[in-house]
Amino acid sequence: MWNWLKKPVPVHQVVLDYEKDHSLDKQSLASKASFLVLDFETTGLNAKKHHIVSAGWVKITESKIQLNSAQYQLVKSPASVGQSAVIHGLHNTQVQHGIELEAVLSMLLQELKGSVLVSHHCALELSFLKQSCQNSFGRAPVFKAVDTLKLELYKMQLKGGPVAQNSLSLPACLARYQLPEVTEHHALSDAFACAQLLLAQLKTKGTSCTLAELLQQSR
């Protein structure tokens, strides 16, 4: 009953600038679209209580990976990495030298303008991205994302038959397209591998595939 007493959290200018300048033509050809491929390493799977410890991303334009766009950032965590260090290999001494989460998010939103977000199993990245923006900036923008895992699932379901366990993992998908193996759970390495996977998937869809189709198949 006292909600009316709470002062609204001001929306950070970074979010307002992103929303003002970010626009996508969903009917544009996927081969001509700009993508930002993102991976987070985190202390757990729950965005409400766990934290991002590293972020990696790379952009794709005109169906080419832009190597000079690659970014890798360690993120200062407010809590211990705990047992998650076994997964991503980052320890408290390393994370303490990372940059503040708000700075990473500001960089990311700037890079995302005019691009489509891409991740492998993007539900995880989206949950942490939205929660982090909410905590840091007062509100999270609406993000449209392409999920390379969902694209692969869609393709396999069209062929019919059961989908084997673990056949949709990033290494399994890369192997299916005869792409190089990846050092898993390094944010930039995973982002680059995901970018390669997306380009391989786009080749199988033909030149008429639109951004709208990718977004639909990623649901």
Asked, for residue 186, whether it belongs to a domain, the answer is yes
Number of structural domains in the chain: 1
d(CA 88, CA 41): 7
Asked, for residue 17, whether it belongs to a domain, the answer is no
Assessment of whether the complete model's pTM goes beyond 0.75: yes
Q: Based on C-alpha coordinates, what's the Rg of the chain?
A: 18
- State whether residue 73 is helix, strand or coil: strand
Asked, for residue 6, whether it belongs to a domain, the answer is no
pLDDT at 85: 86
What would the pLDDT profile of 74-109 be if each residue is shown by its tens digit? Answer: 999 888 999 998 899 898 999 999 999 999 999 999
Asked, for residue 55, whether it belongs to a domain, the answer is yes
Asked, for residue 22, whether it belongs to a domain, the answer is no
Asked, for residue 41, whether it belongs to a domain, the answer is yes
CATH of the domain at 168: 3.30.420.10
pLDDT at 214: 97
Q: Which residues, listed in sequence order, are joined to residue 210 by a DSSP beta bridge? A: 29
In terms of residue numbers, what domain contains 187? 28-217
Asked, for residue 16, whether it belongs to a domain, the answer is no
pLDDT by residue, tens only, the chain of 219 residues: 455 455 566 789 999 999 998 888 999 999 999 999 999 999 999 999 999 999 999 999 999 999 999 999 999 988 899 999 889 989 899 999 999 999 999 999 999 999 999 999 999 999 999 999 999 999 999 999 999 999 999 999 998 888 998 999 999 999 999 999 988 899 999 999 999 999 999 999 999 999 999 999 999
Q: Which residues, listed in sequence order, are joined to residue 201 by a DSSP beta bridge? A: none
Asked, for residue 3, whether it belongs to a domain, the answer is no
CB-CB contact of 56 with 191 (8 Å): yes
